[in-house]
A = this chain, B = another copy of it.
Amino acid sequence: MAAVRNILFVMADQLRADYLSCYGHPTLQTPAIDALARRSVRFTHAYVNATVCGPSRMSYYTGRSMSSHGSTWNGVPLRVGEPTLGDHLRPLGMRVALVGKTHMSADKAGLQRLGVSSQSIEGTYARECGFEPYERDDGLHPDVSVDPDLAYNLYLKRHGYKESNPWHSAANSAEGPGEELLSGWYLRNAQYPARVAEEHSETAYMTNRAMEFIREAGDTPWCLHLSYIKPHWPYIAPAPYHAMYGADDVLAANRSEDERRDPQPVYGAYMRHEESKSFAREDVRRAVIPVYMGLIRQIDDHLARLWHFLEERKLFENTMIVVCSDHGDYLGDHWLGEKELFHEESVHTPLVVYDPDPAADGARGSDNDALVESIDLAPTFVRAAGGPLLDHIFEGRSLLPLLRSAPAEWRDAAVSELDYSFRRAGLDLQVPADKARAWMMRSKRWKYVRYEGFRPQLFDLENDPRELVDRGADPSLASVRAEYDERLFEWARNRRTRITMSNEDIAKRADSYKRRGITIGEW
């Protein structure tokens, strides 16, 4: 496994699986990601373990389900001591760094309880989810809460953007005919070009920063998490990407009038969210979706630049490269905006894994339809870097056997989770904060979603791949629902919480009493 020396872990934010040309989009061309896919394994059934940025990312970064890492929503601190990718890779000699977004919130109370200094190296890693924050930027910097030291703003100011918060006034705003700002927060302004030059946009800047890191790292093995904040809203793109696609490129919404009749109650409450009502409008979809596409194409163009940079340095020879996303975007499908629920538009994500090891040559350019999850990446990286199994911590499984065509029995269902206590839907339904939970279990045939306190959803993916007919109350499918409840119970029983002692150590310890001179129950 020595062939993997570095890891480039690229994530896009809110990128649906089907909005890449290699995943079948008919008019959105993503040649750089497609080119990588031709040298990689393209996973056709990749699922995120949580459908919201923060918890999804924490699952990627810990290799553990949302229930286990406990950071159940954006802004919920990852508890101190929860082991991260950085904690596992650094002892293997790697520099583990971040450029872009993690959505990590530090557990300040926990760090204080342990007397961990915020100035120490260890404290920095703990606050930054195990990453060296080479360039930390979660995006979303409204005037009322912008960090005055935001590096991207300082960069923009150096390049002539003179306003106090050019993130908003330049990158997140367009300009009206009277030179007034048209805020990118409003969907109605998506059609206009951002006031930032493309070369100074966030996507360009973060790509540059990734290259700077790679140059700087030199001969030290590294794992770089390049985490773009786009195509996540605000949906506003610099020229020419704001106008690269048009209303003709907008696919018909995947929804039916039947879905609005007596929907499952949590689903129904999400339909009443502001973003859902907006995306239910066809004029909104036609204005916004082309810009969403432009933002994706922009990322792809910068990845082309990055691939070129890597080729020049022969880094494709020893660098594992992943392109993935933290969740999708409904864009009006199923009468919803945003993400969070478990239709494919939200929970199904792209996953392309390039493995430089010659053992992976046999699978290059192929598709793999195994049900893989975001928690599989951390163990993949650790194993690729020659690290231990850590199967008492990781709930995901290394993808190496799938990449290297080794025989592997694989899971036959993927699980994802939601805590909607922070959202309007939870308030509207008057659900107590600790009961606003849902779990999806998806096999090749069925998708089952269990809600605490509400009736489930069930989709027959074979006969209804677009998930338009909820069979959650169909009496003829009671046995399917019972089977998936039983399987979710099994899943719940198997969460990894004994993280301080490995399975191998337990085998060694089975006789430890004797070794310590302790005798039990001998006459």
Chain A residues close to B by CB (< 8 Å):
67-72, 75-83, 87, 105, 107, 109-111, 113-117, 120-123, 126, 140, 142-145, 183, 185-188, 233, 273-279, 281, 284, 337-338, 391-392, 419, 421-424, 426-427, 432-434, 437, 439, 452, 485-486, 488-489, 492-501, 503, 506-507, 509-510, 512, 516-523
Contact = CB atoms under 8 A, between A and B. Distances in A.
Contact of A79 (B67, B233, B499, B516): B499
Contacts of A492: 489, 492-493
B113 A510 contact: no
Given A114-B126, A115-B117, A115-B120, 20 more contacts: A69-B497, A81-B81, A87-B113, A114-B116, A115-B116, A142-B518, A144-B517, A183-B519, A276-B521, A277-B521, A279-B521, A284-B523, A338-B520, A422-B506, A422-B510, A423-B510, A433-B506, A439-B493, A485-B489, A489-B489
Contact of A233 (B419, B433, B434, B521): B521
17 contacts: A72-B498, A76-B501, A78-B500, A80-B80, A81-B82, A81-B114, A105-B500, A115-B122, A183-B519, A187-B522, A187-B523, A274-B522, A392-B433, A432-B503, A434-B496, A489-B489, A492-B493
Nearest to A274: B521
A501 B70 CA distance: 10
A52 to B, nearest CB: 12
A437 B76 CA distance: 30
Nearest to A495: B67
A70 B518 contact: no
Contacts of A518: 140, 142, 185
A284 to B, nearest CB: 6
B70 A497 contact: yes
A140 B513 CA distance: 11
Nearest to A419: B498
A71 B500 contact: yes
B113 A519 contact: no
A514 B71 CA distance: 21
State the number of copies, please.
Answer: 2
Nearest to A106: B500
A521 B142 contact: no
Nearest to A66: B497
A114 B113 CA distance: 12
Nearest to A109: B500
A187 B522 CA distance: 6
A503 B433 contact: yes
Nearest to A493: B492
Contacts of A186: 519, 522-523
Contacts of A486: 485
Contacts of A523: 186-188, 278, 281, 284
Contact of A278 (B284, B503, B521): B521
A468 B518 CA distance: 32
Given A67-B497, A81-B110, A510-B422, A434 B517 contact: no
Contact of A498 (B70, B116, B426, B516): B70
Nearest to A124: B115
Contacts of A517: 142-145
A426 to B, nearest CB: 7
Nearest to A90: B113
Contact of A437 (B123, B434, B493): B493
Contacts of A497: 67-70, 72
A114 B80 CA distance: 9
Contacts of A122: 113-115
Nearest to A67: B497
Contacts of A488: 489
Nearest to A190: B523
Contact of A521 (B83, B117, B275, B439): B275
Nearest to A117: B115
Nearest to A112: B122
B107 A516 contact: no
Contacts of A188: 523
Interface centre among A78, A488, A500 (most CB of B within 10 A): A500
A510 B424 contact: yes
Contacts of A69: 497
A437 to B, nearest CB: 7
A437 B510 CA distance: 15
Contacts of A519: 183, 185-186
B503 A338 contact: no
Contacts of A485: 486, 489
Interface centre among A276, A503, A506, A523 (most CB of B within 10 A): A523
A81 to B, nearest CB: 3
Interface centre among A142, A144, A424, A498 (most CB of B within 10 A): A498
A76 B109 contact: no
